[in-house]
A and B are shown apart, each in its own frame.
Chain A
Amino acid sequence: MDPLTIAGRTFRSRLLLGTGKFESNEIMVEALERSGAEIITVALRRVDIENPQDDMVSAIDRERFLLLPNTSGARNAEEAVRLSRMARAATDIEWVKLEVTPDPYTLLPDPVETLKAAEILVNEGFVVLPYIHADPILALKLQDIGTATVMPLGSPIGSNRGLHTRASIEIILEQARVPVVVDAGLGLPSHASEAMEMGADAVLVNTAIATAKDPIAMAQAFKLGVEAGRLAALSHPRAPQRQASASSPLTGFLRDE
């Protein structure tokens, strides 16, 4: 597969994996392995003082995987910037998946606060990957201020509903000068394929893999779905036609006319 480049770093995999909701660290590690992912997202939370040994990151091979901290839980730009700085202090990695989701019911991203936080973080030298609604104008503004990608959602986080924002993502893809990573709501490998067939540069998946009955098999299924979609996009598929078009010659039939 052709490599993916984000902010000057090159990756072989076009599947980014979230690490939430796995039943155990062992299953997560095996799913990471099977998915082929190289970029994996993590969140920052307070240490549970009553259970201080609980530590999932030590299960992850930091030589092989790029940790992409997210700012989940941030309700505004200020909280997102604070979380980003903490994440950078913890990893010495400047990469951050910026997400500002003030409404816990829909978990939809706040475009105003996301843009505000992105400006601050880009100025502070962060490599910013913002999670956004599939909003072409916002996507343009973000790439103009220097974000490393844009990450439009397919449908709400964790909903498994698939690519409900297709028309807007098409516009984002036409305008994009940075990689477009379709994030959130992809529930099946076919959804990931669809996004990749449209020309998305990568997809990010968490819930659909982590909550499948067999997360390890599903991780591989998504890997294959992403690869299939990418290969299809590179093959320049033909547009749909109204009329049938025979695959075999319309001559030489075994009948006398």
Chain B
Amino acid sequence: MGHAKINSPVSKPMDTLIINGEKRQFSAKEIPRNLSALLAQLGVKEATVVAEVDGQLIRAKEFASTPIRDGQRIELVRFVGGG
């Protein structure tokens, strides 16, 4: 005994995403598989958002087919009032 930690979940490092400049950590189970899933997890309505993943522009219709991986930088932007 004493060797069980190799497969225990706590030993696995957390996955990290940088979302709008802020670091967010996810356990391996929690990390969303694609951009759609991430937005759903964050409670953001897809239709009003445009995204960049590691500097690459992603349109709303491509969110579901855009996989998310540990370490990516994600920008989520939308329109606000402006002159």
Contacts and interface: CB of A to CB of B under 8 A. Distances in A.
Interface of A: 18-22, 28, 41-47, 49, 52-53, 55-58, 67, 69-70, 72, 85-87, 89-90, 157-158, 184, 204, 206-207, 210
Contacts of A53: 43, 45
Given A52-B43, A210-B81, 13 more contacts: A20-B81, A41-B83, A45-B80, A46-B21, A46-B76, A47-B77, A49-B42, A56-B80, A57-B78, A58-B48, A69-B79, A87-B79, A90-B79
Contact of B81 (A56, A90, A184): A56
Contacts of A207: 83
B27 to A, nearest CB: 19
Contacts of A41: 82-83
A36 B25 CA distance: 48
Contacts of A210: 81
Nearest to B20: A46
B64 interface: no
Contacts of B80: 20, 42-45, 56
A20 B48 contact: no
A45 B78 contact: yes
Interface of B: 19-22, 42-45, 48-50, 52, 57-60, 75-83
6 contacts: A20-B82, A45-B78, A47-B76, A47-B77, A89-B50, A158-B83
B43 A42 contact: no
Contacts of A158: 83
Contacts of B19: 49
Contacts of A90: 48-50, 60, 77-79
Contacts of A45: 77-80
Contacts of A86: 50, 52, 57, 77
A46 B83 contact: no
A47 B78 contact: yes
* 8 A-B pairs with the lowest CB-CB distances in the bound complex, closest first: A43-B82, A18-B83, A206-B83, A90-B50, A20-B81, A19-B81, A52-B44, A47-B76
B79 A44 contact: yes
B52 to A, nearest CB: 7
